[in-house]
Structure 1
Amino acid sequence: MAAGRHKWQRHITLVALILSIGVVLSALFIPLFSQGENLAGRTIQGVEFVGLRNVTADELYPLIYSRIGEPLQPENFNNDLKALFGTGYFGNVEMRLRPNANETVDVVFIVEELPRISDIEFLGADELPLQEVKSVLGFVQGDVYSPQKVKEGVALIKARYREDGFFFAEVWYRTGELDPETNQLQITYIIDEGDDIPISRINILGTRHLDAEDILDILEQKEVGFFDEGKFQESLFEEDKLKILAYAKSSGYVDAEIDPRATGYEIRWRNPEKPEDGRVVIITYKLVEGDIRFFGGYSVEHNPNAMNLELNPPEREIDGPEDLSPIYKPETLLGSLEFIDADIGEVFDERRYFQDRGFMQEMYSREGYVYAQIRPEFVNFELTEESLNRFESCLAMESPAGEDDSRCKKHAEYLNLTALREYLEDNPEAEGNVLRHIHFTVSENNLAYIENIILKGMEKTQEYVIRRELLIKEGQLFNSALVNRSREKLINLGYFKEVNLQMRPGSSDEQMNLIMEVKEQPTGTISIGGGYGTQSGFSIFTEVGDRNLNGTGQRLSGRLEYGPLRRAVSIDWTEPWFYEACQDSTGWFWRNKLKDINNAPDLTTLEKIADTFQNNYSEIGKVMKSYVVEAESVGPARRLDFVKARIRVLIDDYVAKEYECYRQYPRPWSLRLGA
């Protein structure tokens, strides 16, 4: 009995100990939702994250709603947990409250991090650049490990190989062991690239008037032959579809289509009786030409409800189209295009049409009207004596009777009937041809200023290296010519293989955001060679360099030469923008402004130039405008020169400072050391 009592006493003691520990732990970490209301209103003294491996507390703290020094609010608990789960970093997140003796509370998040990818390895990738294979994956080194994304990578890699003609490529993957210290693992893709497949034949079907041989000449892919490798690539197969369409449309067949049911490629044995000879590809394109169209002329009108406000202020009375003041008059626009009335009757080349439409858009963009819209309306008609007579009679109608007559009168107003009749008289064989006339309606809309220039895609290059090359600045009037020239300058640096531009609306109708997205390319170089000289004898050399050192735009190169009679080492360093800190504008800003002012032909142009001064220089623009207004009191003979002289005095100090900056600091600045 005594032994039994001792045994039960030991059990009771053990249970009491466990309960005591539980009480202590419950005092330290109170269950979140059961006791949170009791601690509501207490000041949060600290926020802790327990269980972090690859993420820092500094990254997570800005995401949560419970802040140090603020009262504890239970309604934030769910938001905190959602924010942490929303990062995708964690498999589990728990939240605990720890009350303190000083009537404050600590918020503790206990997390379980998901594994990270330490490295991505590719075995067997020989035919394609490794970077291209990596780029198709939906994840990179350092990302959270997702079994689904890793599995999807197999299909993505195989698809990339198919684009280059490797139809029999196979891909597998394996995941490494999870490192308990770092919570990371390695992903390895094993690639069997297989063989590429040659093109044995390309068939062009459906051509009634176009020459199939001419189409074959423009294709990117060729049949295998003595001079052509003829390797099939799926991506080029799709590109060649577009080339065939573009060729047909530029030849006047504007309604041409590629028949998808009869277009494709087939992989077959070169010789079914000899599989060892391998497979080949036979490509077939089926073109539906449609009917040919000929050029019937251009016409232009301005939308009276979307005119520029600079020359057409709201208070100005406008009774008809003749009272409108467009940036470009219709005859100015038409005179700048590639297609003109003298080309009436020629084959309608859609490529030339798109160039003309784009050029009109470019003309307005250069003046800052990036929101201008050029809307085309197509009028197709048969060129006959009867149709011309019909248009002339419609044109003479004062009150068209019905919808058909109204449409006929509208189209007749578009057409140059005199030029059409002269063409038909000179070319009677053209009777019956279907002509296409394009009527452009121009909505000028308002000026646009650059609110933000957003740079994206840099992995190595520093942002300031790009910004200093730009010929446009935030706050300036948008100018497409300067934007395109800025893009060319960035490409010419040699740091980027692509520079893509996008325009997005800004915070108001007069603001727009310019997005520049770059794709970097390798800038390092290495070369090894040898030479022979009658005095120096044989020598070998190696040279390494980087034209974008650490993303700063600096150029660094080193050369080592070694031989029995000549040994040399040299280091070159170049800073192409040594003086950049001394200027607060892009390029010769003030000198160019002065040049524009001196060349301005009238007061209206000076007023437009004043509008380009924004942000730090907006006051200068306002003063310039006031000079233009005050000029009304000056005699007409010297009015323009008088305003220009006043403006030159206004900006002379800025011009002088800019010139002094450029004079003192040469560009570029180089240093060479050698021995």
Structure 2
Amino acid sequence: MLKKKIVGFILFLFVLNCFAQEPEGWYNGKPVLEIKFKGLQNIEASELDEIFKSYKKKTFSDDLYWEILQKIYALDYFTDIVPKAIPADEKYNSVFLEFIVKEKPAVKDIVFIGNSNIKKSDLLSAINIKKGDIFNEINVKNAERALKDFYIEKGFTKAEIASNTSEDKEKNSIKVEFSVKEGKVSVINKILFEGNSKFPEKALKKVLVSKEAWLLQKGLFREDALQADKSAIKLFYGEHGYIDAHVETIKRDIDSTSDPQKDQITLTYVIMEGEQFTYAGIDFQGNYIFSSEELGEKFKLKKGDIFNLKKFEIGFGDVANLYYENGYTGNYIDKKENRNTSTKEVSYTVLIIERERSHIENIIIKGNTKTKDKVILRELLLKEGDVFSKTKIMNSFRNLANLRYFSTVLPDVLPGSEPDLVDVIINVEEQSTAGIQFGITFSGVSDTNAFPMSVFAQWEEKNLFGTGRELSVNLNAASDTQSLTLGFTENWFLGKPISVGFDFSVAHKTLNTYQDLMYPFNNIPDPHLTMDEFNANPSLSDAFKMKYDRLEFGFGMNSGYRWFPKFAVITLRGGVNFGIVKKFL
């Protein structure tokens, strides 16, 4: 980090020297019209434009330049960066910032050697390196660990992963090669228990993460599952009052000879059960905001009941959530066990140190390169300065997920600048919000001269320019029918959760109808003179059918309002449509 800052400072001095070649200080206070990058090979200019577009039209200053430079270095895309300021006009009223860069090598190809049991596509999905990415050695090491974990998850506990890279300097690219030694797959052949007198093996096996191989159950062995098994057994016994019960050890017997493709493992869980305890109640110390009766209601246990560790932990969590939900995020809450070994009773004392209610100091958004901050902020049920509420935070993230702009929405809460302040961090990962559909349909037609094919195309953008607006275009075309529909929706009208939408459509149809030149004197399809003649031979009139065109114009408006109660998002929507039809020969 220090090295980067030193290099950045040297470049900062260099850029000042570049600026000095023009009239001294001409760029200060001038708007930045554009930020350009020269020397790009593998990185798309559009990607950088999206990242740095927020700086356009801002007034140039040393702070602004330093912020841009730090952001460029944070990308970790380049080995060399040469900055340059260019007057945007002859009068030096605005400035272009240009960065001449040298890219780090890009990943040209990813190769796996030795993977006979797992497909390449599955291995690629397990790592974060993709073809075309800028090469980063740390990412390769992380990929090694990810592949190792992936193999362990698949039961290959002895798998070994190594990486090697080869560089093509002419193409500025790197080939990444992963060598895999898979080894045998480890399978759980049998699960046994020792020391269990209170519960049968069948009941204990149900709570385990590890499972025996049987029929459709693969029984893959995973080292991390053993710790989960220990916790599951402890909790199971704890639900029945055995608060000292635990797994002392898990013995492993490995058979590597019976099957050349598998290591067959027998697991033996050695359990110490202890004595069964009953529940003797709970008391609270240090609580003034909420009464002991109100806090005690969170525990669904009664005195004299067989102690249930799971119910007690849920109740303890509910006490903490009660404070947390009402904005008391800085409280200290702990529990003390009181055990009477002679009567086999256990009670608890909950110790509480109450502090001031927390308010939201900052709401910080991370990960959005397209979606504007205001689009995210307006979906939140809290704003800076409000009392913190866990429920409102979670419902806010529900609203963000419902937008379908993001593949991932993760909340985080960090301490603020004062003990009673917190920062809410919103981490998002954007996904594509545009949709394109295209199709061709073949079908029969009533008109023998019509071509029996129609095409349709639809384009929809749910987050237009990152503003949260929606725009759609629908096109249908056949030999006798053509239509075009345009739609637009503003989802937050005047800063309120009011949606206002408009759609406009135009359609052309070529139609046929019976001709009657004698109308209104003789209202019978030509060439017939009476209805009896027509009923006797109606197909004769088909030869005299008249072809005409119909042009339809449609305009629609719709509006809706959204409410955000705790349990759901409720929307009330309505609209009106108008149409004009013109027929002509």
> Which residue, 271, 281, 291 being the options, matches 1:329?
291
Give, in whole Å, the separation in 2 of the partners of 1:567 and 1:193.
61
SS in 2 for 1:228: coil
Match of 2:214 in 1: 225
How far off its partner does 1:84 sit?
Answer: 11
Matched, 1:160 2:150: yes
Name which of 324, 327, 350 aligns with 1:440: 350
> Does residue 1:474 correspond to 2:376, yes or no?
no
Tell me by how many angstroms 1:216 deviates.
0.7
Q: Is the 8 A contact 1:367 1:478 kept in 2?
A: yes
The aligned runs of 1:166-177 (5 Å cut-off) are 166-167=156-157, 169=159, 171=161, 173-177=163-167
1:353-432 correspondence to structure 2 within 5 Å: 353-382=312-341, 432=342
Aligned equivalents of 2:334, 2:74: Cα separation in 1: 45
Closer, same or farther: CA 535–440 of 1 in aligned 2, 3 Å: farther
Partner of 1:423: none
Separation in 1, partners of 2:434, 2:136: 32
Q: Give the deviation of 1:513 after TM superposition.
A: 0.8
Once the two structures are TM-superposed, the CA of residue 510 in structure 1 deviates from its matched residue by 2.8
For each residue in 1:93-118, what CA deviation from the matched residue of structure 2 results, as whole angstroms up to 9, or x when unmatched? Answer: 99xxxxxxxxxxxxxxxx99684334
Following the alignment from structure 2 to structure 1, what is the Cα–Cα distance between the partners of residues 485 and 253? 57
Residue in structure 1 matching 2:492, options 549, 567, 580 = 580
Change (3 A) 1:164 1:236: farther
Indicate how the Cα distance of structure 1 residues 513 and 91 shifts in structure 2: closer, same or farther if over 3 A, else same. Answer: closer
Distance 1:300 1:669, change over 3 A: same
Alpha-carbon separation, structure 1, partners of 2:218 and 2:436: 30
Q: Give the aligned partner of residue 133 of structure 1.
A: 126
Q: How many Å separate the matches in 2 of 1:83 and 1:535? A: 61
Task: Give TM-score, length-normalised by structure 2.
Answer: 0.57
Once the two structures are TM-superposed, the CA of residue 443 in structure 1 deviates from its matched residue by 2.4
Aligned to 2:300: 339
* Matched residue type, 1:467: L
Alpha-carbon contact 1:453-1:514 (below 8 Å) kept = yes
Q: 1:283 to 1:299 in 2, by over 3 A?
A: same
Q: Which residue of 2 aligns with 1:281?
A: 265
Residues 200, 188 of structure 1: alpha-carbon distance in 2 compared, 3 angstrom cutoff: same
Q: Secondary structure at the match of 2:385?
A: coil
Superposed, 1:101-250 pairs within 5 Å as 115-119=104-108, 121-123=110-112, 126=119, 129=122, 132-135=125-128, 142-143=133-134, 145-146=136-137, 150=140, 153-167=143-157, 169=159, 171=161, 173-180=163-170, 183-189=172-178, 196-250=185-239
Q: Distance in 2 between matches of 1:541 and 1:166?
A: 51
Q: CA deviation at 1:526?
A: 10
Q: Is 1:486 matched with 2:396?
A: yes
Paired AA for residue 289 in structure 1: E
The question of whether the paired residues in 2 share the 8 Å contact of 1:44 and 1:69 is answered with: no
Distance (Å, rounded) in 2 between the aligned partners of 1:232 and 1:541? 54
- Higher strand content, 1 or 2: 2
The question of 1:504 aligning with 2:414 is answered yes
- Partner of residue 281, structure 2: 297
Query: What does 1:51-90 correspond to in 2, within 5 Å?
Result: none
Asked if 1:268 is matched to 2:255, the reply is: yes
**What pairs up with 1:606-625 in 2 under 5 angstroms?**
none
Residue 449 of structure 1 and its aligned partner are, at CA, apart by 1.0
Counterpart CA distance in 2 for 1:546 and 1:246 is 51
Higher relative contact order (CA 8 A, sep 6+): 1
Alignment CA distance shift 1:572-1:179 (3 Å): farther
Q: Per-residue CA shift, 1:517-539, capped at 9, x if unaligned?
A: 34667888999999999999xx9
Partner amino acid, structure 1, of 2:304? G
Structure 1 CA distance for aligned equivalents of residues 491 and 413 of structure 2: 31
Q: Answer yes or no: is the 8 Å Cα contact 2:187–2:262 preserved in 1.
A: no
Q: Compared with structure 1, are the counterparts of its residues 83 and 288 closer, same or farther at alpha carbon in structure 2 (3 Å cutoff)?
A: same
Amino acid in the other structure paired with 1:331: E
TM-aligned CA distance change 1:222 to 1:546, over 3 Å: farther
- How far off is 1:450 after superposition? 0.7
Q: Secondary structure at the residue paired with 1:475?
A: coil
Counterpart residue identity of residue 448, structure 1: S
Task: Measure the CA separation in 2 of the matches of 1:85 and 1:457.
Answer: 17
Moved more, 192-201 or 154-163: 192-201
Whether the 8 Å contact between 1:506 and 1:513 is mirrored in structure 2 is yes
Residues 163 and 176, structure 2, Cα contact 8 Å, conserved in 1: yes
Work out the percentage of aligned pairs sharing the same amino acid. 23
Note the residue ranges of structure 2 that are not aligned, 5 or more in a row: 1-9, 22-36, 53-59, 63-69, 83-99, 447-452, 500-558, 563-570, 578-585
Aligned partner of 1:350 in structure 2 is 309
Q: Work out the CA distance in 1 between the residues paired with 2:405 and 2:239.
A: 36
User: Does structure 2 conserve the Cα–Cα contact (< 8 Å) formed by 1:294 and 1:434?
Assistant: yes
Q: Letter of the aligned partner of 2:255 in structure 1?
A: R
Displacement of 1:131 in angstroms is: 6.3
State the secondary structure of the residue aligned to 2:127. helix
Letter of the structure 2 residue corresponding to residue 329 of structure 1: S
CA 1:69 to 1:150, structure 2 compared with 1: closer, same or farther past 3 Å?
closer
Equivalent pairs counted in the alignment come to: 436
Alignment CA distance shift 1:361-1:226 (3 Å)? same
Distance change in 2, residues 1:201/1:582 (3 Å): same
Root mean square deviation of aligned Cα: 5.7
Contact residue 241 and residue 307 of structure 2 kept, 8 A:
yes
Shift of 1:328: 1.8
